[in-house]
Structure 1
Amino acid sequence: MITNEGPVSRENRPENAHVVRFYDDDAVLMDEVAGFIAQALQVGGVGLVIATPAHEAELRRQLGKDAGHSAQHLVFLDAQVTLECFMVDGWPDEQAFRRVIRQAAAPAIARGAVLHAFGEMVALLCAEGRYGAAIRLEQMWNALSDEMQFSLFCAYPWQLFPNTELAEQFEQVCAQHSHACTHAPAGRIHDVKGKPLRLVGLERKALTVDAEVARRKDLEQALRQREQELADFVENAAEGLHRVGPDGTILWANKAELQMLGYRWEEYVGHPIADFHVDAPVIEQILETLGAGGTLYDQPARLRCKDGSVKHVLINSNGLFEHGKLRYTRCFTRDATAHHERDEALAQRERMLDELTAANRTKDEFLAMLGHELRNPLSPIVTALQLMRLRGTPGAERERAIIERQVDHLVRLVDDLMDVARATRGQIELKFEHVDIAQPLAKAVEMASLLLEQRGHRMEVDIEPGLRWEGDPMRLAQVVSNLLTNAARYTPHGGRIALRGRSDGPGWLCISVTDNGIGLAEDMLTQVFDLFFQGKRGVDRSEGGLGIGLALVKNIVELHGGVVQARSAGAGQGSEFVVRLPLRSAGASSEPAAALGVAPAFAQRRIMIVDDNVDAAETLGLLLEAHGHVVEVFNDPAAALDAVQRLQPDLAVLDIGLPDMDGCELAVRLRRLLGAHPCRLVALSGYGQEADRERSAAAGFARHLVKPITPDEVARLAGDA
């Protein structure tokens, strides 16, 4: 209830007042609200405060200065909590609202006392951008006056209406109120007489104008800042920039342009651009293209520097036209001297490679002839030594042993020499043996020991004991010795080199050579295995080598069915070369047939093989038959289904990627036809990801083998059935 006349009797109580206050100072607002609530309390009425926690605390402090008030005279509600009691889907529900307010105003209603209410719920809705809901809530307060008598004080921060875009919402808020308030000197509520809402509107417009003026000042300041930043950007850019007039005169240039060519401003700007181009036809073409409205991208050119040198540059440029006439061209000049030199170096490298290729072809032919010629005298020497051993000629045993060792070494040297030619033709042959892996690795260390000692390196060897391997031990020794030699050459004197050999999962062997040498750049990690590729060398060529060692390593490892990989964290970070080999090389299956004729290690099984690859199916069948099993091979799923009840297999090896019907579907049908007969299913696939294994397991397969399978896997295939 708004008044400046002091206490008002119930008989003289005025009509309900709905007051709005727009504010930007919390302290002023709290003084006004405290005075407004105090008016009701002074006449024995009730004050209802629906406020935010901060405002509630301040009002409690101010109103508590006088004698304490009971809960029946002063009621506090949290604005957000109260709001949530009657909001439905983001919109105020009138019935729920009436229940909430009736309950809060019950003390005043019961006694017919004066009720002054302060509410911030509408401000909370506006703060969330829900102006329509706030206006609806104001309307519901007005409608509530039909059944209750009260005075309501609503407060909105001015910041909720910051611009003209919210003018309509502001007008709608004002339209729901009967009074507007300002702050009186005594801290009491003062009712603006005459046209109060119009004055509030003028105040809002004034605030909006102030905000707009401040915004424009900020924009002007930001624009000036951006202009300064742009000027700084072009003037101090790392790339050369210049502007040229329609007549070809240089109008402006930045620092990078001047520094790149070595001129002062007055020596460059104001002069014809053509004066600085080495090639007159090039600048003529550039100016003609730009004058016609064209754009240049990475246009190569040569510019004359002040010191007489020539810069290779790339020019990007286009023109600014007004009314169809060229005003000026804007040009970006990039120093491409290093790029040009690199291109020249690459072209020279290509010419060198062409020459090396020709020389290499001649070298291969020479080495092949040299190897043949060296073998001619070696053959009778070896034969003579064998004759001496057969005849048992006494005496000179020590000398003969020396000759035999050196002849063996010479034979190996000739073989190594021939490998250079064989590697380029893919003609290296392997001699398979079953050995402890420590044997060839020890041989490799022996072969590289002289260079390791000469370079003063510390050698660490860690070999898993009892690790058996089938392959060519001499070739493996050659592989590892080449890796050790490579590490020794590219590791500074007194470095650390480590050789490790270990098993690496079922059926695999891993050998690694690690050093703390000069390391490898990322782009060299694959090139390093190219024939004749060599890393960076010192002037004294202390690293040595012909650039064929790692290419031979890759060739020999792949012949064994393995892979080799180079790893390095970068230049100066050392290197690691990792060789991964199957414990039994694929080529070992070409051993004499007697190896396949051994008695089966397991009970005889009836085996069905289904694979549309005829050669793969037949060879797998032959290997299993060599182990004593009864095998039938099918290349078509339908034929396998027709024969399954006759064969009654103990084991079925099924290719997953079959035509018409995949292996998983075939497995389901086989299970159905075999009924209670036990048959173990093995999946054979070119895919071995976890998802592929899960799919085959779900289809009932006991194992999932990935092609190609090793001979050891074939031998174990039926034994587990």
Structure 2
Amino acid sequence: MAVSKRFLSLLQFQLAQFADRPDVTSLVVYVAEAGQGEAPHLVPVGQWPLANRALPALALDNPLSGAAELRRWLPLRDQGVLLGALRVDTLQLPWPEPLRQRLQAVALCLTEGLCLDLEQQRMQQQLTAQREQLGVLLHQLRNPLAALRTFGQLLLRRLDGDERNRTLVEGLLQEEQQLQRYVEAISHLEGGALVAAQGQEPTPLLLPPSLGGPTGQPLEALLAPLVQRAAATASLQARPWHSPDQLPPWQGDSGAVAEILANLLENAFRYSPAGTAVGLQCQARPSGGWRLVVWDAGPPIAAEERERIFVRGARGQRGAELPGTGLGLALARDLAHALGGSLELASSPAALDPDLPAEGNAFSLELPGPAAPAP
């Protein structure tokens, strides 16, 4: 097995501590390696004191203990698997008890180091294989997306004058563009370029940059297809849908706002019972900002879960048996904070507006007003 530079540094540090033992003349660390078509053998990877001569590899069936009268071998073994060996040459046998304990501790430390090296190599191989598979999937995914775009554009030409169906096809094309943005964003994840909330460390990764939008982009253009999709979903599920009276003329990172609302609407349709109403409300605020409310008339989320559902990986009782990762609301709140706003779960829709249902759930996204002009 190949060993890392970190293990070699650990090895040299562990062996060099025997410089105060004149009764120890030589220490050599070997690792087990299986050659192609050959029996496994031990390959030397480090020695003390340092010497210019190279040590030969040894076959495992070699009578190691008989190589020298004052030489002993300590196996580096993990759960019955031989990972290597520590060769010890001394001036006397048996070893004094302090020396024996010290050598055993070094052998244990080197064994743990080899185990960590093996685990790192295994994970690196697995990660490389997953990246290759992801690359193939992304390459293959582009073909059906291109076909959807082509067929949609052809269908759009044939619907000239049919405004009702033309709107549906335009919605399909917009969704295809969004999928294409996701594909491109995933393909750029190799470089690790992700957007983090302002003022925070890069740890809470949010959205790839290609899923955001330039500052000042109109929000209305991105919300219109979301509203159309919600209306179509409600129609298919035979449930009431309440569209907003107006779309906010807000400008900023509209791509991030659209991602938040898309997540909230998807949750509303997924977790509220069939037949219950779902709606989106947009309210202008006196400060110049906007409050966007996604609400449903389903059973309210339990009070003890209202904050926990915003924790990464946590899920509420209603969605425990449904597929999901428990990341959507956490990412949505992080995005809202990065925008300078907030995302909260109200006690009921009516608590935000008396015209909304008295029972249900309402997620309120507060967007800041325009920045004050510089003096």
TM class by shorter-chain length?
0.3 to 0.5
Larger RCO: 1 or 2 (CA < 8 Å, sep 6+): 2
| Structure whose alpha-carbon radius of gyration is higher | 1
**Please, what TM-score do these two structures have when normalized by structure 1?**
0.25
**Please, what TM-score do these two structures have when normalized by structure 2?**
0.45
Q: Pick the structure with more helix per residue.
A: 1
